[in-house]
């Protein structure tokens, strides 16, 4: 998988963890059309790889996680070309959100505009204490188009999201932590290690269970409580006949660590 992409560096880590690095440091890891296509391809491929158990997504260098869309490429686009390119971006964002395995963002620097929207599509995020965040699109004559007007209010609340989006106001790593935008702040040199540790803990659990639990949380929050509970039981029942369920119970009773296979 490492040699498959030009703008994305993918490394296999132990226990089925993948470290995916946006590899365009010279433009603050902004995504052009090719980068968006490669991100889309990568995340859509994960569902068919049972050995993949968790993804950590970060940016190359220490300046930026992702600055959003590459505005130099967009500068020459006609209106129809702009719309066509944005459809590629839309598919990319949805591919991250719909990835069946957990995706953790390791935010190593600025996460602006589409970069913040990309981070918000991940399941949760750790960030460097030097990270900065903003949805700045209104200052460019556009507006968030990668889910930002929907994902940010669900995290920080409607009124705070309006302040941040309508003013295009940057916010700090400390504010991001206090508002629940990120789960943990790390020293810059420890960010990747701590995020990989979290990914490793996830990857050590039964992969089918993790996938179904993620789906139940993600989809259940889009409906009412009773419907969400029904969805949970549906997901639960898919696991009862699995080999991993049997192995987990055996290992508990035999006082040993389970060996999950994803079956």
CATH of 2-203, one of 3.50.50.60, 3.90.226.10, 3.40.50.300, 3.40.710.10: 3.90.226.10
Fold entry, domain 207-253: Lyase 2-enoyl-coa Hydratase; Chain  A, domain 2 (1.10.12)
**In this predicted structure, what is the pLDDT of residue 94?**
97
Say yes or no to pLDDT of 48 above 80: no
Please give the average per-residue pLDDT across 236-246, as a whole number. Answer: 92
Point out the residues that are catalytic.
117, 137
| Distance separating alpha carbons of residues 215 and 178, to the nearest angstrom | 26
Domain boundaries, the chain: 2-203, 207-253
Helix (H) or strand (E) run with residue 84 in it? helix 79-97
Angle between helices 33-46 and 79-97 in degrees, nearest 10? 30
pLDDT attached to residue 2: 46
Instruction: Identify whether the C-beta of residue 148 lies closer than 8 Å to the C-beta of residue 135.
Output: yes
pLDDT in tens, 49-105: 778 999 999 999 989 999 999 988 888 888 998 899 999 999 999 999 999 999 999
pLDDT of residue 4: 84
CA dihedral (110, 194, 146, 170) positive or negative: negative
pLDDT of residue 71: 87
């Amino acid at each position: 998988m490492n040699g498959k992409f030009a703008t994305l560096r993918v490394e296999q880590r132990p226990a089925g963890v993948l470290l995916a690095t946006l590899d365009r440091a010279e433009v603050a890891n902004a995504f052009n059309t090719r980068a968006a296509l490669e991100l889309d391809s990568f995340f859509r491929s994960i569902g068919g790889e049972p050995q993949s158990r968790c993804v950590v997504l970060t940016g190359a260098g220490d300046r930026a996680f992702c600055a959003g869309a590459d505005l130099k490429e967009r500068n020459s686009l006609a209106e129809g070309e702009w719309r066509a390119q944005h459809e590629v971006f839309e598919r990319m964002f949805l591919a991250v959100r719909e990835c069946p395995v957990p995706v953790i963002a390791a935010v190593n620097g600025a996460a602006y505009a589409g970069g913040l929207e990309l981070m918000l599509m991940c399941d949760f995020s750790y960030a460097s204490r030097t990270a900065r965040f903003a949805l700045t699109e209104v200052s460019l004559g556009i507006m968030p188009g990668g889910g930002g007007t929907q994902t940010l209010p669900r995290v920080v609340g409607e009124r705070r999201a309006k302040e941040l989006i309508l003013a295009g106001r940057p916010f700090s790593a400390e504010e991001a932590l206090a508002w629940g935008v990120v789960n943990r702040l790390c020293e810059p040199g420890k960010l990747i290690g701590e995020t990989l540790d979290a990914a490793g803990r996830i990857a050590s659990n039964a992969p089918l269970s993790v996938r179904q639990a993620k789906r139940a949380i993600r989809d259940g929050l889009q409906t009412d409580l009773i419907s969400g509970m029904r969805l949970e039981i549906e997901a639960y029942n898919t696991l009862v006949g699995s080999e991993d369920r049997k192995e987990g119970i055996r290992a508990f009773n035999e006082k040993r660590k389970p060996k999950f296979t994803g079956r």
